[in-house]
Amino acid sequence: AQKITQTQPGMFVQEKEAVTLDCTYDTSDPSYGLFWYKQPSSGEMIFLIYQGSYDQQNATEGRYSLNFQKARKSANLVISASQLGDSAMYFCAMRVLTGGGNKLTFGTGTQLKVEL
């Protein structure tokens, strides 16, 4: 069975600062993908970034980067130069790629609040 753990229910960061949202995962499958989603107060789910288990380099997408530490089974999201619009709930998710179907397993989320 797969499991995603997000231990920070809430985080605060000042505008223009960087923030790291923690995510650890558990799977015995060697092939998997890790995802981060943003859910603003309006409720939609917005895909941010993807990291494959065999990717050699950490994924980056604009101000988002994924700090992938395979041996520690962690996939932390780093947001650089935080903006007020980054205030939202952030979910880490995993998909097992071999025999695991196509479903995503989500963590419980981290509520990020960006302050002036």
> What are the b/e assignments for 38-68, b being 16+ CB within 10 Å?
beeeeeeeeebbebebeeeeebeeeebbbbb
Name residues contacting other proteins, limited to 28-47 (CB under 8 A): 33, 35, 37, 42-47
DSSP three-state, residue 84: helix
Name residues contacting other proteins, limited to 51-70 (CB under 8 A): 52
d(CA 93, CA 42): 20
Pick between residue 3 and residue 16 the one whose CB is nearest to other proteins: 3
Tell me: does residue 24 bind other proteins (CB under 8 A). Answer: no
Contacts with other proteins by CB under 8 A lie at: 4, 33, 35, 37, 42-47, 50, 52, 91, 93, 95, 97, 101-109
